[in-house]
Amino acid sequence: MNLKNQDIISINDLSKEDLLHILKVAKSMEKPKPNLLKNKIMATLFFEPSTRTRLSFIYAMESLGGEVLGFDNASSSSAKKGESLWDTAKIVEKYCDVMVIRHPIEGAARLAAEASSKPAINAGDGANQHPTQTLLDLYTIQKVKGKLNNLSIGMVGDLKYGRTVHSLTAAMSHFNPTFYFIAPQALQMPQTYLDELKEKGIKFVTESNLQKVSNKLDILYVTRIQKERFLDPVEYEKYRGYYKLDTKLLENVKKDLKIMHPLPRVDEMDRSLDETEHAVYFEQAANGIPVRRALLALVLGKAT
Ligand code: CP
């Protein structure tokens, strides 16, 4: 498998073998390799806010000896003056070796990749995909459970707009999971994802009451209600605070349940869970560093 010069846009573009290979390379990137990407430049095109993704990409690049340029919001770029994303990507490709893009519009990363001859990495496009988050999620699951196969995975919260759960569902489908999609009906996993699971013969349950299924789970993946994706603020207010997880959850769960969250959290998960043996979300965020190091090294042809 050779990811040199490849775009990383959708998790669906990667085979099971690709995913496992990236995880293997990530394992070898737990420590910095200070000269690996010397003289390489990464551009960050962030049209939407980010803490973890942008900073861990920057840290990953710099810890491999590379350099970084870019912007962290649309209004400090010429998008504010009306420049198209196509033109932005056409220009930025002249200044960098790899670009990392986050954008509120679904498909924006694919468009930037088409405009650019340099590899483009999707750091989240609207409610669509967040493939690098999914790779670090897989890396975390592999680390904390010792395997990816045959796990019962609950996803709770905003499954309609949450791009992390869309990507993770597609990726975990390679590993014979049983999914529990826990959300109010209006925020359930979109039908298109459920249809794909049916076609592949993958077991899943849709449910709104977490208590009813919490004892079955190996992994509980919590998500926030994605305020910024709601067209109607009144609709958001209806679902805000729908789930508020705290240590009461733990009365009825497996001893080795692991709780994940892509973060940021708002009010869906209480800090009382943080110090329990179940919480792995801070470790999960830290795993973004080796995984993003691996992706940068692979697409820049400095790892195989
Ligand atoms: N998980 C994640 O994408 O976090 P940020 O929005 O802070 O990058």
Q: Does domain 11-129+288-299 have CATH number 1.10.287.1080?
A: no
Q: Average pLDDT in the 46-69 region?
A: 98
Q: Which among 265, 258, 290, 259 has a CA at the least distance from the CA of 51?
A: 265
Q: Which among 41, 34, 40, 43 has a CA at the least distance from the CA of 64?
A: 34
- Which pLDDT does position 199 carry in this prediction? 97
Cα 294 to Cα 291: distance, rounded to the nearest angstrom: 5
The dihedrals phi and psi of 204, each to the nearest 5 degrees, come to -150, 155
- Tally of CA atoms within 13 A in the half-sphere of 20 that contains its CB: 8
Residue ranges of the chain that CATH labels 3.40.50.1370: 11-129+288-299, 131-285
Q: Distances from the Cα of 96 to the Cαs of 40, 117, 171, in angstroms?
A: 7, 11, 29
Is-catalytic flag, 44?
no
The side-by-side arrangement of strands in the sheet containing 67-71 is 67-71, 41-46, 98-103, 120-125
pLDDT tens, position by position, 186-205:
999 999 999 999 999 999 99
- Which pLDDT does position 159 carry in this prediction? 97
Who lines ligand 1 at CB under 6 A?
50-53, 124, 133, 262-264
131-285 homologous superfamily: Aspartate/ornithine carbamoyltransferase (3.40.50.1370)
- Which pLDDT does position 145 carry in this prediction? 98
- Which pLDDT does position 173 carry in this prediction? 98
Of the chain, the end-to-end C-alpha distance in Å amounts to 8
Q: Average pLDDT in the 209-229 region?
A: 96
Is-catalytic flag, 102?
yes
CA dihedral sign, ordered 147, 151, 154, 155: positive
What residues contact 248, with CB distance under 8 A and at least 6 apart? none
- Which pLDDT does position 198 carry in this prediction? 98
Query: Which one is catalytic: 27, 33, 52, 240?
Result: 52
The dihedrals phi and psi of 253, each to the nearest 5 degrees, come to -120, 165
Q: Does the pLDDT of residue 1 top 90, yes or no?
A: no
Is-catalytic flag, 247?
no
Position in ligand 1 atom list of the atom nearest CA 285: 1
Cα 304 to Cα 302: distance, rounded to the nearest angstrom: 7
Is-catalytic flag, 238?
no
Cα 144 to Cα 147: distance, rounded to the nearest angstrom: 8
| Ligand 1 pocket test, candidate residues 53, 140, 226, 265, most atoms within 8 A of CB | 53
Q: Average pLDDT in the 240-267 region?
A: 96
CB neighbour class for 261 (10 Å; exposed up to 12, middle 13-18, buried from 19): buried
In this structure, which residue's CA is closest to atom 3 in ligand 1? 53
Q: What is the DSSP letter of 129?
A: B
- How far is C-alpha 9 from the geometric centre of its chain's CA atoms? 11
Q: Which among 245, 228, 227 has a CA at the least distance from the CA of 237?
A: 227
